[in-house]
Amino acid sequence: MRVAIDTQPGGASPNEDWVAGTPSLAVVLDGLSTAGLDTGCRHGVPWYVAHLGSQLVAALADPETSLTAGLASALEQVAALHPECDLSNPGTPSATVAILRQRAGFLDHLVLADSPIVLEEADGFTVLTDLRVDEVLPELRAEVEQYETDTAEHQEALRRLITAQRQTRNTPTGYWVASSDSEAAAHALVGSTPVDGVLAAAVLSDGVSRLVTEYGMATWAEVFATLRAGGPQELISSVRKVEATDPTGRRWPRYKSGDDAAVAFCQW
């Protein structure tokens, strides 16, 4: 498996996405926005995703370790790195997780929250994702989307949404993300696909996948054509060009004018 990667911040703030690729593994993490709210952690989201990603790659170096077990181990290891922080804080640094691993004749996948894995197959595309977060607090999401991005009203509505989401995050009635508790790994969506039926695969943060799913400005076929022609950097550039036509979120309401973006493009 050949993996090409890139990640770029969506603005002036530090990048909260993380990506890695090896000959058998592709990992994308998308750190959750804090909207300036307290997290109980002095390290921050970029630190969290960098350490979680590193621990994941190490844990999954052994092909006999399942993706679920590898994620659980990585979560435990990262929690042990900062015990002085308040890991019980509902805003403790968190992230989505998307993992694709080639093992023998199969591609194993794990998705936790809404960073998708897209498989290009001979008869079309399969999107592997976890959209449970979309079912939570739709009225507050709608409130955020009624304001232009970067306005005071938008920022206040976003803080209300994130405050409420924190109360449902990693609970049976809410949605699950990687955080400080290894139990989240058991709630990830996992599966396997025969590798000989897959032409290529893309592991994406939602800052990239929205080009198709939210903006509707490309098809998956066009995304994979861009990846083959110019690689992950060109795909992210395509997203930025689209966002530049709607900087205040009038056409496509969203949380940020430009979100952090990460891509791992896998070919055989």
Chain segment 104-118, per-residue pLDDT in tens: 999 999 999 999 999
Dist. CA 82–CA 253, nearest whole Å: 36
Residues with Cβ within 8 Å of residue 27, at least 6 apart in sequence: 18, 19, 20, 21, 53, 56, 57, 97, 98, 99, 203, 264
pLDDT of residue 83: 96
Mean pLDDT over each residue of the chain, to the nearest integer: 96
Contacts 24+ apart (CB under 8 A), 191-195: 191/108, 191/109, 191/128, 192/106, 192/107, 192/108, 192/109, 193/106, 193/107, 193/109, 193/119, 193/126, 194/105, 194/106, 194/107, 195/102, 195/105, 195/106, 195/107, 195/268
pLDDT of residue 50: 98
**Residue matched to tokens 């990585």:** 74
Q: Which fold has domain 2-267?
A: Phosphatase 2c; domain 1 (3.60.40)
pLDDT of residue 239: 98
pLDDT of residue 176: 97
pLDDT of residue 245: 97
pLDDT of residue 115: 98
**Residue matched to tokens 């794990």:** 110
Write out the two tokens for 224.
């994979």
The dihedrals phi and psi of 198, each to the nearest 5 degrees, come to -110, 125
pLDDT of residue 101: 98
Task: Report the pLDDT averaged over residues 122-130.
Answer: 97
The closest of 23, 257, 241 to 158, measured between CA atoms, is 257
Inter-CA distances, 31 with 14, 35, 134, 249, Å: 11, 12, 17, 21
Task: Report the pLDDT averaged over residues 167-185.
Answer: 95
Per-residue pLDDT tens digits for 205-261: 999 999 999 999 999 999 999 999 999 999 999 999 999 999 999 999 999 999 999
Task: Report the pLDDT averaged over residues 139-148.
Answer: 94
- The stretches of the chain forming alpha helices (DSSP H) are 45-59, 67-81, 138-145, 152-168, 206-213, 220-244
pLDDT band at residue 57 under the 50/70/90 scheme: very high
Per-residue pLDDT tens digits for 70-102: 999 999 999 999 999 999 999 999 999 999 999
The closest of 234, 246, 249, 237 to 4, measured between CA atoms, is 234
Domain limits, the chain: 2-267
Predicted TM-score of the model (pTM): 0.96
